């Protein structure tokens, strides 16, 4: 996705970003991402606009990068994987995904990807500095379906509930009850969680008419989920 009124490219990045993104998409497909809408979204969103100019040349590598205040932008492969898991839920398969909640806006990259996959995106960040940074990063893209919120995402965002999907970009010891309460029936939550042994794994929780179904997937490395704002 290109900004509505394309600002001049970051000085000195010297790359044809569409071609570099197309190569990233090929690599994501080779790593097992199969969802056409997700691959399309990853090809559209200009990740280099979400990182500092000194890191622009690494923007399309499959690596997390610092975004300030001790936080990181997630690896493309992880963003794509989480998007694919969201779309693979009953509500995701039934048609375009409705409202999605993201906990941990960070630099706003994943919110921009989700904006292609879902009708409405609510994204909440607890660090004022990053909330402001995401707002500035996303402004040129003019995405009317992205709603940036400053607050403690452990409480979710009840005003937008119920959500067809909830995605967390930070991992705690447990899945907050508020997230489960705010998930729609047929909806899916995808989040990192600290498991026994102190390592993180990706957790998927589906809300069905019969109750919650949880699956523990692969190991991941996300920043910690923290309470309160700063």
SS (H, E, C) 96-117: CEEEEEEECCCCCHHHHHHHHH
Cα atoms in the Cβ-side hemisphere of radius 13 Å centred on 155: 12
Give least dist CB 2 to ligand SAH, A. Answer: 18
CB contact at 8 A, 224 and 172 = yes
**184 is a site residue for ligand SAH (CB under 6 A):** no
Q: Which of 17, 71, 89, 137 binds ligand SAH (CB under 6 A)?
A: 71
Please, which residues have CB within 8 angstroms of residue 148's CB and are 6 or more apart in sequence? 105, 108, 111, 123, 124, 125, 131, 134, 135, 138
110: contact with ligand SAH by CB under 6 A = yes
Q: Are strands 223-224 and 170-171 parallel, antiparallel or unpaired?
A: parallel
Which among 17, 74, 89, 123 is annotated as catalytic? 74
> Any catalytic annotation for residue 74?
yes
Q: Work out how close the CB of 94 gets to ligand SAH at its nearest, in angstroms, rounded to a whole number.
A: 25
Segment interacting with ligand SAH, rule: CB under 6 A, options 4-12, 86-94, 148-156, 188-196: 148-156
**Backbone φ and ψ of 166, nearest 5°:** -130, 130
109: contact with ligand SAH by CB under 6 A: yes
Q: List the one residue out of 39, 37, 43, 49 whose CA is nearest residue 8.
A: 49
Q: Which of residues 125, 178, 188, 202 is near ligand SAH by CB under 6 A?
A: 125
Min CB(160)–ligand SAH separation in Å:
14
By CB under 6 A, is residue 169 in contact with ligand SAH? yes
Stretch that binds ligand SAH, among 80-88, 104-112, 185-193, 194-202 (CB under 6 A): 104-112
**Which residue number, 90 or 151, has a Cβ lying nearer to ligand SAH?**
151
DSSP state letters, 125-169: ES-HHHHHHHHHHHGGG--TTEEEEES-GGG--GGGPSEEEEEES
Binding to ligand SAH (CB under 6 A): which residues in 44-63? none
73 binds ligand SAH (CB under 6 A): yes
From residue 220, give the alpha-carbon distance in Å to each of 46, 143, 199, 224.
24, 29, 8, 12
Residue 126 found at the interface with ligand SAH (CB under 6 A) = yes
Applying CB under 6 A, the residues found at the interface with ligand SAH are 67, 71-74, 103-104, 106-107, 109-110, 124-127, 130, 152-154, 169-170, 223, 225-227
Please identify every residue annotated as catalytic: 74
């Amino acid at each position: 996705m290109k900004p509505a009124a394309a600002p001049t490219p970051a000085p000195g990045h010297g790359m044809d970003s569409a071609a570099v993104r197309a190569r990233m998409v090929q690599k994501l497909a080779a790593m097992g991402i199969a969802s056409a809408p997700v691959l399309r979204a990853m090809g559209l969103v200009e990740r280099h606009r979400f990182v500092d100019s000194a890191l622009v040349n690494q923007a399309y590598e499959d690596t997390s990068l610092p975004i300030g205040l001790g936080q990181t932008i997630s690896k493309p492969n992880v963003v794509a994987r989480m998007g694919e898991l969201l779309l693979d839920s009953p509500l995701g398969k039934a048609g375009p995904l409705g409202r999605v909640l993201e906990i941990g806006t960070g630099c706003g990259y994943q919110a921009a990807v989700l904006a292609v996959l879902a009708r409405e995106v609510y994204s909440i960040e607890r660090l004022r500095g990053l909330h402001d940074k995401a707002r500035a990063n996303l402004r040129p893209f003019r995405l009317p379906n992205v709603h940036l919120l400053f607050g403690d995402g452990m409480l979710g965002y009840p005003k937008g509930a119920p959500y067809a999907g909830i995605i967390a970009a930070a991992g705690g010891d447990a899945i907050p009850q508020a997230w489960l309460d705010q998930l729609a029936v047929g909806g899916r939550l995808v989040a990192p969680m600290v498991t026994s042994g102190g390592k993180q794994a990706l957790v998927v929780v589906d809300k069905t008419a019969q109750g919650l179904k949880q699956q523990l997937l692969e190991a991941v490395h996300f920043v910690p989920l923290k309470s309160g704002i700063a």
